[in-house]
Chain A
């Protein structure tokens, strides 16, 4: 898919009305020449500036712009605009937005799973360099360690799970320290994997007494698994057992029969298939399509003390995330992040996960391009949903001000601004309704949503 708002504004055939992700007929992916996308972030910013100015001149009368350009040509318009406005200076100012960096060498932690793709690939593929940063991405043994190293300042920023900055901010399962989450790392990308001996138990009602693993208490994995079994009438605290197991240990535990299955990040679902140990029962996108999973987070203190550095890092991540969102780039990314220094996984497995062309362990070859996808926008409504589930399962006690916490932690408007600067169209609102397994979630009424569940701990 091309990003129409980044088309050449001086070209009468281009159409500036449609944003990234537009699904209208003229934006449908078929037939679009991918060449229309600017090659580098620099040209992308140039384009965004030109586009914004041309749009401002024509005040959204795109048809008028096209007629005018057909009449006088793009060069004339550019020259005319250049005469009244120092275009080059405006472009330079936008690129340098924020002024000098307070700190150039940063440490960013990651847990080696495919959800960390944008954080990792930004290193070998040069996204950090492009934004003037020298970033060391450091492999971390687990979420608790990532949390502790972030809390004690060893990491300037870190890969986290989307519920973690919320939990850290309110002090659930850690010392309370305000954290911010400027961007979501990935959406979708998880799966429920079961041991091969359970191939005939595809109905969750047959799972009574099963032992499941999730990577962390404050994770989408935990909340999605609980949601899924509860919708099938099982109580996740009584009918099944949920344990916290670090992702690398999951496949070994599954093989040993210590757990019957897990809802885990990739590549460990695909790895179980590759090893012949498990099969993919369900992709997490089948529970909630485009659900958030991992996050890019930093302490509020870092964001406030080093605003320019934070902004540059933020831009690099959003840039990398958008790059990763293009299916055409996935194979190349898999190659970049599979080596020992990053994921340390067979490239074949990583490619299967990122491209969505994979065997499911049941004998099928599936093709799900958005099995894992990348979209940085941290919807406030996602935060509210996560908080309702934390409340539902007793991780949060007392009254919860869902909106306030979500808006404090998830920097949706900042992310929107960065997306716009980089030439991507952010959503207009920061709240949206979601449908999970047929049930609608309205972020404006979290308490009513919570009341609607039969199985809960409140």
Chain B
């Protein structure tokens, strides 16, 4: 009997094969008017992917760049918005978590702002900030800040009383307590918040770039949609999935690093 890991990998491959095979076979083929109006088969998408990935960094002017450059633009925007959000959310969440008063007072604001869709922010951002690039970054910032804020506050608030009592008996300064007791204890929860946020940022960027255009993977999707080119759109969807997965993996690894046994 093979080990579990091998067996699950085999089942995954089998499922993928069945899925792609059924998809390929269900394609009506290149009949009159038929091929244009159907979702392209995997073989066509693979062919397209190969040609796009063969030269991912070409630059043919402001409106036509390789998929690699587009993804880098998107990643840069995501990291800028997400980084800003982390810079603000984590210290602020810390404060909220330490103070039950602030926590209760700010809760209604967070609850109202949290569920607002990124696209609803876009017109306001464009109007106020007057710069489409910064607007996209702002939209990522505003959408990725909440999970980090809430998780940090929650993590800090639920640090075990025992730890704090020990810190008090050892007469640690408040700053020292924060850094050597609360932060390590809350770190796994904070990291979980950061992981949720990076997922949201990556979701938001595509929508934001479809609106403001110019560069990025969202612009790529919009540009190919303009041409009703589903092959490119499906290829872009796969790329978005892969990059999103890599971002998530990176944070999962970071989360494992801060995990500690009691």
Contact = CB atoms under 8 A, between A and B. Distances in A.
B63 A341 contact: yes
Contacts of B36: 274-276
A138 B228 contact: no
Nearest to A146: B213
A423 interface: no
A255 interface: yes
Interface stretch (A148-156, A214-222, A312-320): A148-156
Contacts of A344: 223-224, 226-227, 229
B174 interface: no
Contacts of A341: 60-64
Contacts of A277: 37
Interface in B185-215: 210-214
Interface string A113-156: 00000000000000000000000111111001100110111100
B126 A141 contact: no
Contacts of A152: 126, 130-131
Contacts of A274: 36
B3 interface: no
B179 interface: no
Given A248-B222, A344-B223, A141 B62 contact: no
A148 B223 CA distance: 20
Contact of B132 (A154, A345, A346): A154
Contact of A145 (B131, B212, B228, B229): B212
A276 B126 contact: no
A140 B37 contact: no
Contacts of B126: 145, 148, 152
Contacts of B131: 152, 154
Interface string B1-41: 00000000000000000000000000000000100110000
Contacts of A145: 126, 132, 211-213
B60 A271 contact: no
Interface residues of A, number: 33
A251 interface: yes
Contact of B228 (A154, A251, A342): A251
A248 B224 CA distance: 9
Q: Which of B123, B214, B225 has its CB near the most chain A CB atoms (within 10 A)?
A: B214
Nearest to B228: A251
A137 B210 contact: no
Contact of B227 (A151, A154, A345): A345
A339 interface: yes
Interface in A386-419: none
Nearest to B61: A341
B127 interface: yes
Contacts of A275: 33, 36-37, 228
Interface string A209-236: 0000000000000000000000000000
A341 B60 CA distance: 7
Contacts of B37: 255, 275-277
A64 interface: no
Contacts of B211: 141, 145
B33 A136 contact: no
Given A145-B211, A145-B213, A344-B226, A138 B63 contact: yes
Contact of A139 (B63, B127, B130, B132): B63
Contacts of A305: none
A136 B64 contact: no
A252 interface: yes
A339 B213 contact: no
Contact of A276 (B33, B224, B225): B33
A275 B228 CA distance: 10
Nearest 6 A/B pairs, CB to CB: A341-B64, A152-B130, A276-B33, A141-B213, A248-B226, A341-B63
Given A139-B223, A148-B123, A153-B130, 13 more contacts: A112-B226, A136-B61, A136-B62, A137-B62, A139-B62, A148-B127, A149-B132, A151-B130, A247-B226, A275-B37, A340-B64, A341-B64, A344-B227
Interface of B: 33, 36-37, 60-64, 123, 126-127, 130-132, 210-214, 219, 222-229
